Amino acid sequence: MRVVLVGGGVASASTAAGLRKRGLDGEIVLVADEPEPPYERPPLSKEFLGGADVAPARGTQWYADNGVELRLGNRATALDLGGRTVRLADGDEVDYDALVLATGLRARRLPGFDGERVHHLRTVADARRLRAELAGASRLVILGAGFIGCEVASSAVALGKQVTIFEPEPAPLARALGARIGAALLDIHRARGVEVRTGEYVESMDRTADGLVLTSNLGHRMECDLLLVGVGARPNLELAAAAGIATGDGILVDEYGRTSAPDVYALGDVAAQLHHGVRVRVEHHDNALRQGRAVAANLTGEAVPHTDAHWFWSDQYDHTLQSVGRARDLDDLVVRGSVEEQRFAAFSLTDGRIDAVIALNRPGDVLAVRRILHTPHEVTADQLRDESVPLKQMLRAVVS
């Protein structure tokens, strides 16, 4: 049996590791367009910009020891589902018995915002370029206060840079986390000296001899040395779509990671998965790892649906934001702790059941919820607000 993994991110690495752990003794081929073996992307907006090394998902020796053939710097350009082959950019064709698509995302680009001094951040090559140019820059402007924008702002401030963020929404991460938590993040960034221009976006960019001049929708003009465009990412689904595999906002898969094509799986950031009956595409590291383990199980004959709760973290300054689950209504959260004091857990509660928690600097609360999220339980808003009972103890008691 030969399993071909297309994509060089942690989703592929996790699947390869899962396959060997489960005793698959067939061939595994990992095809990646980036020149490095799979590495961790989360540090790229955080400690990497401060000088840390690239963090490989697995040491190079692991692939050799586990018989995983790496085809790096080589893009998969076409799939022949009938003939069960993957065509590579170097002209080679690789046969497969099972194919796993983990092609991830690419940074979204804005027309007119590219070229010298303009940055996007998805790959280690992007991060190297940004790190090198940040060293000689004093003023960075960021378009978009999403996770990447907020994390790079925090890293750039630590390097002594002057940072401005343009964000059309009223607060950072407002769409992902709601207005109230967004407002808390706004305070955090402003307290660190970041100029966060909410309700405003950049309409045009001009070049001068030594920098860029940006003009906003409100007519504000601002000079900067570097611009980071952090306005989201798009799934790399064209390879699958061109072969006739069903796609939507990602490659469509069921709970087992199966696409519409026989023996073709998809996972990680590119997959629009069925999760507890809802179709979602999840752009979080932990999901890629867990889905990889589930796909490996399915490929080795054990039907394992990926039902684990979706969890993520984001580090900004000395704050840790974490969330697990999917909130029903971000404007209707039950808060335990204090948003103003920047230490809280905000719960989404539906008919006495927790659907999600978003927490700032309360990792223990997130862990406690993660353990029971998809287990039957019943809890009230008043109970959750009551800090006299430790959450772990409370949640243990309400599981039925």
Which class for 234: exposed (0-12), middle (13-18), buried (19 or more C-beta within 10 A)? Answer: middle
Q: How many CA atoms lie within 13 A of 347 on its CB side?
A: 27
Residue pair 359/317 in contact (Cβ under 8 Å)? The answer is: no
Cα 194 to chain center, whole Å?
23
Q: Binding string to ligand FAD for residues 33 to 62, with x set by CB under 6 A, is what? A: xx------xx-xx-----------------
**92: closest CA among 73, 106, 67, 119?**
73
Q: Binding string to ligand FAD for residues 171 to 190, with x set by CB under 6 A, is what? A: --------------------
Binding to ligand FAD in span 57-76, by CB under 6 A: 75-76
DSSP conformational letter for 168: S
Give, in degrees to the nearest 5, the angle at Cα 152 between 149 and 156.
135
Q: Which of 5, 6, 354, 368 binds ligand FAD (CB under 6 A)?
A: 6
Give the nearer residue to ligand FAD in terms of CB position, either 164 or 236: 236
Q: Collapsing DSSP states into helix, strand and coil, what is residue 274? A: strand
- Least distance to ligand FAD, CB of residue 273, Å: 11
Q: Which of 269, 308, 355, 365 binds ligand FAD (CB under 6 A)?
A: 269
Q: Which stretch binds ligand FAD (CB under 6 A): 6-14, 112-120, 179-187, 215-223?
A: 6-14
- Least distance to ligand FAD, CB of residue 48, Å: 8
Strand blocks (E) in 226-342 = 226-229, 233-235, 251-253, 264-266, 271-275, 278-281, 311-316, 319-325, 334-338
* Residue-by-residue DSSP string for 109-144: --TT--STTEE--SSHHHHHHHHHHHHT-SEEEEE-
The verdict on 102 binding ligand FAD (CB under 6 A) reads yes
Q: Which stretch binds ligand FAD (CB under 6 A): 99-107, 193-201, 223-231, 294-302?
A: 99-107
Give the nearer residue to ligand FAD in terms of CB position, either 34 or 167: 34
Binding to ligand FAD in span 301-360, by CB under 6 A: 312-314
- Least distance to ligand FAD, CB of residue 400, Å: 30
What one-letter code names the amino acid at 41? R
Give the nearer residue to ligand FAD in terms of CB position, either 289 or 384: 289
Binding to ligand FAD in span 272-311, by CB under 6 A: 283-286, 288
Interface residues with ligand FAD (CB under 6 A) are 6-12, 31-34, 41-42, 44-45, 75-76, 102-105, 121-122, 148, 236, 239, 268-269, 283-286, 288, 312-314
